[in-house]
Amino acid sequence: MVPALVNAALGGLLAAALLGRAFDRQAVALVVGAAVVPGLGSAAGVALGWTAAAAVQAVWLPLLAALVLLVDTRWRERSVLRTRHGWRGVRVAWVALASASVAGVAPDLFNEPGVPLLYPLESVRYTVDGLLLYSTQEGVVQTLLTGGDTPGVLPLAGTEGVSGMTDGPPETIAIVETGWQAVVVATGALTLSLRFAGFGGGRRDVAATRAAGETTGTTETTGTTETTGTTETTETTAEDR
Amino acid sequence: MVSTLVHAGFALVVAAGLLGDAADRRALGAILLVVVLPEADALLGPIYPGAHRTVGHTTVLPVAAGLLLYYDTQRREHSWIRARVADRWIGVAWVALVVHLTAHVALDWTHLEGVNLFWPLRDAFTSLDGALTWSLADGFVQTFVDVRVDPATGQTRVGTDVTGTRASVHVNNPVEPDDPAALAEAEVVDRRFPVAGRGWRLYLLGLGLFTVVARRLQRAPPAEE
């Protein structure tokens, strides 16, 4: 199990990278929260011996959510989400979904005891933990995919049973387990604090920024972008600082 | 080595996170170059023993570069750099330094013998390894940083594990896949180019690819918002 703090840091990194103009405190809180839910849900299920909680780590919920989002925002005449929360709502929903699956579930797939990807169709926890390299003597060496003798349907290493340990709640709670997790946590915290401090996060309108950059004074910079709206002007000034 | 591809993957996520909407293909490409190029210190290995994870993986050079960048762009009346590049690229340079220190140096710091963090000021490879746990009985316990009191002198020493010096530590890489002494005697040299050595490294690589693909699929916000 990857500690919740690591899920949160990965969710924070995804929020900063994917939210775009929807990036603000509220949206980041939602996306980071989405990253933490699957791990905590599954841990609670394991601790309480509640096997069905394994479903929060299966692929079905994210697939269903993606389908609902797609139908609502792309195929329906009037999207409920867009009418109520606008472009921002749609963006935050997609990023939160990505965060729940990519920052919330996926890290556990690469760590013991793995993720029950196809639960409840089968009770097998899958793990992907091996190496992939090219050797000048042996060619491509990989131990990620396994042959046919695994318990599950997918060609990945797996163990039978999803309930895990049932010894009750663990006595020690891991906050950070290894060096790389410490780096991920520190990087996530640094990225979010720099973004909230107004560093980076400029606009995609590169040409305008470049034109602004060629003039020397700050007052002129503000002048050049004045036409594009007040909120953006503040962003540019923050970036120029 | 933590594979260069893994560094690149994690670097893409952090760079996109710091740049936000300013992360276009040219900016990300430039940052990747800054992150990946120091890996070439492996090429210096044969002429300067222990160069890999020393020359390109020290924190001294990036910090010095950061100080120069700060002095030139913020403190001087007529900035040499501002006269030559657009302001946007100064922001990209800052991001590149941060990304290099986090996605490259810090990740390698946690792997095998670590990196020679303060070379050339101090020649010592250190590695970051440990855990942070909480329990009702012991409260918070961390094992990343040693705090040791020398019983003889009473001095306190604080730091991460020291694994050796440039002379004693050799981190295997495709240029020198084994200790130079062993290599000289070997009949066949097996050069290994890792993609990912462990599951979590494959994950970081995938995270970078996911970020780039997701950003491509995103729709631009409507003009009125």
Predicted local distance difference test score (pLDDT) of residue A235:
39
Q: Which of B131, B199, B221 sits opposite A174 (nearest CB)?
A: B131
Q: Which chain B residue has its CA at the smallest distance from A105's CA? A: B203
Phi, psi (degrees; rounded to nearest 5) at B206: -65, -35
Predicted local distance difference test score (pLDDT) of residue B44:
86
Predicted local distance difference test score (pLDDT) of residue B184:
78
Predicted local distance difference test score (pLDDT) of residue A187:
97
Q: Which chain B residue has its CA at the smallest distance from A133's CA? A: B194
- Owning domain of residue B171: 4-115+166-217
- In the stretch 104-133 of chain A, residues with CB closer than 8 A to chain B read 106-107, 109-111, 127-133
- Whole-angstrom Cα distance, residue B124 to residue A74? 57
Phi, psi (degrees; rounded to nearest 5) at B68: -60, -45
Predicted local distance difference test score (pLDDT) of residue A237:
38
Closest approach of A55 to chain B, Cα-based (Å):
22
CA distances from A234 to A60, A198, A217, A230, A238 (A): 42, 10, 15, 7, 6
Question: Would an 8 Å CB–CB cutoff place B59 in contact with chain A?
Answer: no
Q: Which of B18, B107, B195 sits opposite A195 (nearest CB)?
A: B18
Predicted local distance difference test score (pLDDT) of residue A130:
79
Q: Which chain A residue has its CA at the smallest distance from B108's CA? A: A180
Phi, psi (degrees; rounded to nearest 5) at A193: -70, -35
Amino acid at A73: T
Q: Taking the mean position of all CA atoms in its chain, how far away is CA A124?
A: 24
In contact, B28 and B15? CB cutoff 8 Å: yes
Closest listed residue to residue B2, CA positions, set B177, B224, B216, B171: B171
Q: Which chain B residue has its CA at the smallest distance from A114's CA? A: B199
Task: Give me the interface pTM, i.e. the ipTM.
Answer: 0.90
Predicted local distance difference test score (pLDDT) of residue A166:
53
Per the CB < 8 Å rule, is B190 touching A136? yes
**Residue range A79-116, pLDDT digits in tens:** 889 989 999 999 999 999 999 999 999 999 988 788 88
Predicted local distance difference test score (pLDDT) of residue A147:
66
CA atoms within 13 A on the CB side of A30: 18
Determine the average pLDDT of the residues in A65-78: 91
Q: How confident is the model at residue A165 (pLDDT cuts 50, 70, 90)?
A: low
Determine the average pLDDT of the residues in A42-52: 81
The answer as to whether B55 is a domain residue is yes
Q: Which chain A residue has its CA at the smallest distance from B223's CA? A: A228
Predicted local distance difference test score (pLDDT) of residue A159:
79
Burial classification of residue B10, based on how many CB atoms lie within 10 Å of its CB (0-12 exposed, 13-18 middle, 19 or more buried) = buried
Per the CB < 8 Å rule, is B207 touching A102? yes
For the full predicted model, state whether its pTM sits above 0.90: no
CA distances from A44 to A62, B140, B208 (A): 20, 21, 30
Q: How confident is the model at residue A168 (pLDDT cuts 50, 70, 90)?
A: low
In contact, A222 and A190? CB cutoff 8 Å: no
Question: Would an 8 Å CB–CB cutoff place B224 in contact with chain A?
Answer: no
- In the stretch 178-217 of chain B, residues with CB closer than 8 A to chain A read 188-200, 202-203, 206-207, 210-211, 214-215
Predicted local distance difference test score (pLDDT) of residue B69:
94
The answer as to whether B57 is a domain residue is yes
Determine the average pLDDT of the residues in A8-26: 95
Segment (H or E) for B62:
helix B60-70
Q: Residue A83 has which token pair? A: 């009418």
In contact, B189 and B177? CB cutoff 8 Å: yes
Burial call A172-200: b when 16+ CB within 10 Å, e when fewer = eebbbbbbbbbbbbebbebbbebbeeebb
Q: Residue B142 has which token pair? A: 């961390």
Question: Would an 8 Å CB–CB cutoff place A185 in contact with chain B?
Answer: no
Q: Which of A4-13, A149-158, B130-139 has the lowest mean pLDDT?
A: A149-158
Helix (H), strand (E), coil (C) string for chain A: CCCHHHHHHHHHHHHHHHCHHHCCHHHHHHHHHHHHHHHHHHHHHHHHCCHHHHHHHCCHHHHHHHHHHHHHHHHCCCCHHHHHHHHHHHHHHHHHHHHHHHHHHHHHHCCCCCECCCCCCCCEEEECCCCEEEECCCEEEECCECCCCCCCCCCEEEEECCCCCCCCCCCEEEEECCHHHHHHHHHHHHHHHHHHCCCCCECCCHHHHHHHHHCCCHHHHHHHHHHHCHHHHHHHHHHHC
In contact, A222 and A236? CB cutoff 8 Å: yes
Amino acid at B42: A
Residues forming a β-bridge with B157? B148
The answer as to whether B151 is a domain residue is no
Closest listed residue to residue B106, CA positions, set A176, A183, A9: A183
Closest approach of A110 to chain B, Cα-based (Å):
5
C-alpha dihedral over B14, B19, B23, B26, to 10 degrees?
Answer: -90
Predicted local distance difference test score (pLDDT) of residue A167:
57
Question: Would an 8 Å CB–CB cutoff place B225 in contact with chain A?
Answer: yes
Predicted local distance difference test score (pLDDT) of residue B114:
87
Q: Which of A52-56, A129-133, A235-239, B8-12 has the lowest mean pLDDT?
A: A235-239
Q: What is the mean pLDDT of each run of 10 residues along chain B (225 residues)?
A: 86 94 90 91 85 90 94 89 89 94 93 87 88 89 83 75 83 83 79 84 94 90 66
Cβ neighbors of B18 (< 8 A, separation 6 or more) are: A16, A191, A194, A195, A199, A200, A201, B95, B98, B99
Predicted local distance difference test score (pLDDT) of residue A163:
67
Greater confidence (A169 vs A160) lies with: A160
In contact, A164 and A46? CB cutoff 8 Å: yes
- Whole-angstrom Cα distance, residue B4 to residue B13? 15
